[in-house]
Amino acid sequence: VSFSLAPGECLGIIGPSGSGKSTLGKIITGIFPPTAGAVLLDGVDISVLRDCGGGRRLGYLPQDIDLFGETVKDIIARLDDADLQKVIEAAKLAGLHETIIRLPQGYDTVINVAGANLPRGFRQRLGLARAFFGDPHLVVLDEPNSSLDSLGERMLFDAIERMKAANTTVIIITHRIGI
């Protein structure tokens, strides 16, 4: 596979289940090394970016969402001691801010057992907020609408459009052609 995307472009990777889409997403994000060639982001090999802390240029929503962190803020900020306003911006982009402020301690609400007790749609939106956090240059979304209702899907479409308008390159991996 070989392709190049400009800032603000959006690419859909569409195919049936088991065809290697998620594996390609993991290669693009540097989780898996490519068997040949390289993945470059802003002209730098993605593996170098991940190893030297440049991973902030990259947002990723995996198909199976693992939520790391103690509080909602920690999860969205990727365990970074981030400015709350940036966390709120990411949550708003994912359509989650209003829900979070209704939690007992808002952004400081403790999430137990990596969010295993949370509804799947809420977990997915937290994962989206985490992927959007920090003005990434590239966002890779693997089945981003799999657990979203129609309102959540509309917010996802709007968020993707805002990311593109901010010159963030977006890659959407899906088997559902509608997105």
Q: How confident is the prediction along the chain (179 residues), in pLDDT tens digits per residue?
A: 889 999 999 999 999 888 999 999 999 998 899 999 999 888 888 888 776 655 578 899 988 887 788 889 999 998 777 789 999 999 999 889 999 999 989 999 888 766 566 788 888 889 999 999 988 899 999 998 888 888 888 888 998 998 999 999 999 999 877 77
H-type alpha helices, 29-102: 46-51, 72-76, 84-93, 97-101
Residues sharing a CB contact under 8 Å with residue 147, sequence separation 6 or more, in sequence order: 120, 121, 123, 124
CA distance 23 to 17: 11
For the entire predicted model, the pTM comes to 0.88
CA distance 141 to 155: 14
CA distance 152 to 21: 23
